[in-house]
Every structure is written in C-alpha cells, then in structure tokens.
Amino acid sequence: MLYMVIEHFYEGAAPEIYRRARKKGRMLSPGLEYVASWVALDFKTCYQLMRTEDPALFTAWIENWKDLSSFTIVPVRTSAEATEAIAAQL
C-alpha cells in the first residue's frame, strides 16, 4: 500500500535534517520503502511517497526524526487505482 507522508520540519531544522540524512541515510525499517519525495521551496515541508504492507513500521522510522519534524501519514492510491475503484459508481 502507498502512503503520502507529510513531514513538517520544525523551525530551522532543515539543515540538521539534511545533515542527519547524509550521515545516517533515511533509516527505514526493512519493509518500509521510500518511493519519491518533493520538498517545498521554503524547506518547511517534505512530501514523501512510501510503500509498505505494515503501517506499524512508520513508528520506528518516525522515532528517528521526531526531534526535527512532525508527521502526517495518509494512505493513498494511484489515479489508475482510484478510477478502477470508483468505476462501479459512475
């Protein structure tokens, strides 16, 4: 399943986030897969697409970053999957 992870950087935390990522990587648990990400121009928000069959894996990952960011995790589907799921209601 896909998840949109909206990471809200704490004020002034962006440089430390990038330092930690450079030094330690994403620190993902096995079974939690990074797909892609986009960062707002003001370095206050990162939108990350991730995949996992076990959403509980987000807990350990967030533990590594919670001092620098807060997180909103939203289960999502692709547009093609949405079109298929809604087709019977059209």
With cut-offs at 50, 70 and 90, classify the pLDDT of residue 29. very high
Span 39-80, pLDDT tens digits: 999 999 999 999 999 999 999 999 999 999 999 999 999 999
CATH code assigned at 45: 3.30.70
| pLDDT confidence of residue 52 | 98
Question: Region 19-43: what's the mean pLDDT?
Answer: 97
Kindly report the three-state secondary structure assignment for every residue of 21-86.
HHHHCCCCCCCCEEEEEEECCCCCEEEEEEECCCCCHHHHHHHCCCCCEEEEEEEECCHHHHHHHH
| pLDDT confidence of residue 75 | 98
Quote the mean pLDDT of the chain.
97
Domain coverage including residue 33: 2-89
Question: Region 9-24: what's the mean pLDDT?
Answer: 98
- What is the tally of structural domains in the chain? 1
Considering the chain, what percentage of its residues have pLDDT values greater than 90?
Answer: 100
